[in-house]
Amino acid sequence: DVKVTQSSRYLVKRTGEKVFLECVQDMDHENMFWYRQDPGLGLRLIYFSYDVKMKEKGDIPEGYSVSREKKERFSLILESASTNQTSMYLCASSLGGEKLFFGSGTQLSVL
């Protein structure tokens, strides 16, 4: 089975901190995605990547950046964390158009 691993299940940070969320997939998938999940809003796409060193903005990229230096790893960066970035962050990967494989999520709290 495909495994998508997110480095932390729970994370607590202070306002203004730089935050790194890491995601690793083990199936050589080309496509990787970062979503945030908020109650009543569902999942919203932050950034995605179709290849190494390539990135594209999703629907809500403001306040975030990403890095993909290796095919298996896709990092989400909060340059200066704010309280409105408190959320569940979900990483996903896919090979083509079939389906997304999701990690278990990182619940980030910004105080």
Binding site for another protein (CB under 8 A): 4, 31, 33, 35, 40-45, 48, 50, 58-59, 90, 92, 94, 96-100, 102-105
Nearest to another protein of 15, 109 (CB atom): 109
Nearest to another protein of 9, 18 (CB atom): 9
Please count the residues of the chain: 111
Nearest to another protein of 14, 99 (CB atom): 99
Min dist. Cβ of residue 43 to another protein (A): 4
Classify residue 9 as exposed, middle or buried by CB count within 10 Å of its CB (0-12, 13-18, 19+): exposed
* Cα 41 versus chain centre, distance: 17
Beta-sheet strands, E only, within 1-111: 4-6, 10-13, 19-25, 31-38, 42-49, 56-57, 64-70, 73-78, 87-94, 101-102, 106-110
Nearest to another protein of 85, 94 (CB atom): 94
Min dist. Cβ of residue 82 to another protein (A): 23
Min dist. Cβ of residue 77 to another protein (A): 21
